[in-house]
């Protein structure tokens, strides 16, 4: 066994000496050998191919964290995400994090470059398809306050020990639940059919001529009756009947499709009211018009989102914006009065936010009002 100290071409000779009966013989066999000093870390050989083929680990759902499994410090990595976003670059087994803006199947490639000790550059890639789940629904410009049922969350009957900010019971005792939800903790559980049931609501101004769209996340609880749907109605005041929606005082915004037993997001058709409304009402519906608890259905709802869509017609614009509104006392730790400076010519939504812009309270002012009490 012999170890050479440096690379080169060496002539190795084998000299054999021997003989019998006083005769001595010599023989020499020589052969050139090429010696290449090997660097264990940086070789463009089968170890490199194997290291790349070992691939990468994936953790998290979205954002995802990817980390090569078997590369070493000779290697640089280019990540191609498969969604058209800029590539990322790392070295060795360093991890990298990426967020996809929408769910789907993506083809991700880890392209590895190694510069070996003798200057050879080798490049190989490992690619993989994987499924990214849909990111949580976000609802920008949501007219509904606390549509995710997250703020002020206390489980129990709404208005009877349970609480979720901005929402109140409009029929019976809907439950605020925290053990199950579409996304963030907090959801509402209600029962009902066509004539009897539970309902939740909040003040919300719908203006004639504007167009609105509802999305929500819901599920049928696999008990009692199926065919459960969620009914969204606008009204000018508290709804008097679980079933009736009298013209002039109430209008259907959206009667959802029949819910499945897993949390699913449903989206309404566009709805354009022909008059102003001031309240949102959400109730349960199924195929039974029998006032009997044995014929009701149970459902859970979450992530209520109502947005104004399209362009407001000129006729609905506020002709004279309120520019001289005053609030007093200011500052205040309690009640305050907002003076508009003139009578309102249309219903107005008053939204109280904290310094971070998070909505705290929403109330409705009617046409003709010149001031409004906030508490």
What is the binding site for Ca ion (CB under 5 A)? 148-149, 181, 184, 186, 302
* Residue 181 or 189 with smaller CB distance to Ca ion: 181
Of the two residues 148 and 194, which places its CB atom closer to Ca ion in the complex? 148
C-alpha 201/C-alpha 205 separation (Å) is 12
Judged by CB, which is closer to Ca ion: 151, or 236?
151
In the complex, the smallest distance separating the C-beta of residue 156 from Ca ion, rounded to whole angstroms, is 16
- The whole-angstrom separation of Cα 96 and Cα 80 is 11
Distance CA 8, CA 322 (A): 89
**Rounded Cα–Cα distance for residues 357 and 150 (Å):** 16
In a 3-state reduction of DSSP, which class is residue 286?
coil
| Cα 319 from Cα 96, distance rounded (Å) | 53
Cα–Cα nearest to 192, from 299, 304, 301: 299
Min CB(205)–Ca ion separation in Å? 24
Residue in this structure with the two tokens 């100290």, named with its chain if needed: 5
CB-wise, 181 or 210, nearer to Ca ion?
Answer: 181
Smallest gap from residue 177 Cβ to Ca ion (A): 9
- Determine whether 135 is exposed, middle or buried from the number of CB atoms within 10 Å of its CB (0-12, 13-18, 19+): middle
Among candidates 279, 276, 272, 203, which has minimal Cα distance to 239?
Answer: 279
Instruction: Answer whether 144's CB lies under 8 Å from 204's CB.
Output: yes
Q: Cβ closer to Ca ion: 79 or 149?
A: 149
Q: Which is nearer to Ca ion, 251 or 302 (CB)?
A: 302
| Min dist. Cβ of residue 164 to Ca ion (A) | 9
Question: What are 141's two structure tokens?
Answer: 């410009």
- In angstroms, what is the minimal distance from the CB of 259 to Ca ion? 16
Torsion angles phi and psi, residue 56, rounded to 5: -140, 155
Residue from 168, 189, 169 nearest 178 by CA:
189
Q: Which is nearer to Ca ion, 154 or 312 (CB)?
A: 154
In the bound state with Ca ion, the residue whose beta carbon lies nearer, of 184 and 252, is: 184
CB of 153 to Ca ion, least distance (A): 9
Angle of CA points 126, 131, 132, to nearest 5°: 110
The 8-class DSSP code of residue 368 comes to T
Structure tokens at 53: 């083929």
Q: Would you say 182 or 348 has its CB closer to Ca ion?
A: 182
How many other CB atoms are there within 10 angstroms of residue 258's CB atom? Answer: 15
Compare residues 69 and 139 and give the one whose CB is closer to Ca ion: 139
Residue 58 to residues 81, 167, 297, Cα–Cα distance (Å): 13, 40, 41
Kindly give the pairing relationship between strand 229-235 and strand 326-328.
Answer: unpaired
Instruction: Quote the CA–CA distance of 110 and 125 in Å, as a whole number.
Output: 6
């Amino acid at each position: 066994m012999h170890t050479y100290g440096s690379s080169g071409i060496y002539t190795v000779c084998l000299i054999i000496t021997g003989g019998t009966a006083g005769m001595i013989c010599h023989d020499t066999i020589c052969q050139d050998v090429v010696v290449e000093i090997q660097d264990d870390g940086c070789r463009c050989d089968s170890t490199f191919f194997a290291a790349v083929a070992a691939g990468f680990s994936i953790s998290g759902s979205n954002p995802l964290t990817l980390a090569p499994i078997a590369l070493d410090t000779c290697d640089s990595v280019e990540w191609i995400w498969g969604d058209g976003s800029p590539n990322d670059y790392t070295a060795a087994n360093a991890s990298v994090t990426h967020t996809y803006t929408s769910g789907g199947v993506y083809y991700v490639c880890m392209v590895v470059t190694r510069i070996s000790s003798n200057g050879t550059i080798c490049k190989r890639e490992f690619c993989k398809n994987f499924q990214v789940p849909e990111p949580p629904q976000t609802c920008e410009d949501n007219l509904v306050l606390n549509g995710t049922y997250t703020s002020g969350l206390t489980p129990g009957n709404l208005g009877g020990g349970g609480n979720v900010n901005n929402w109140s019971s409009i029929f019976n005792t809907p439950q605020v639940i925290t053990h199950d939800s579409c996304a963030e903790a907090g959801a509402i559980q209600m029962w009902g059919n066509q004539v009897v049931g539970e309902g939740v609501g909040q003040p919300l101004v719908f203006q004639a001529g504007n167009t609105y769209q509802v999305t929500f996340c819901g599920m049928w609880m696999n008990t009692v009756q199926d065919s459960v749907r969620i009914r969204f109605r606008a009204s000018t005041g508290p709804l008097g009947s679980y079933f009736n929606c009298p013209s002039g005082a109430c209008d259907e915004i959206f009667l959802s499709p029949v819910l499945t037993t897993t949390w699913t997001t449903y989206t309404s058709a566009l709805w354009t009211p022909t008059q102003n409304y001031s309240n949102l009402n959400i109730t349960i519906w199924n195929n039974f018009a029998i006032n009997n608890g044995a014929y009701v259905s149970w459902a859970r709802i979450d992530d209520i989102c109502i947005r104004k869509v399209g362009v407001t017609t000129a006729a609905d614009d506020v002709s004279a914006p309120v520019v001289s509104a005053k609030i007093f006392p200011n500052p205040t730790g309690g009640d305050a009065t907002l003076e508009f400076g003139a009578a309102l010519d249309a219903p107005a939504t008053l939204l109280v936010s904290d310094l971070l812009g998070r909505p705290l309270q929403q109330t409705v002012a009617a046409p003709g009002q010149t001031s409004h009490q906030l508490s």
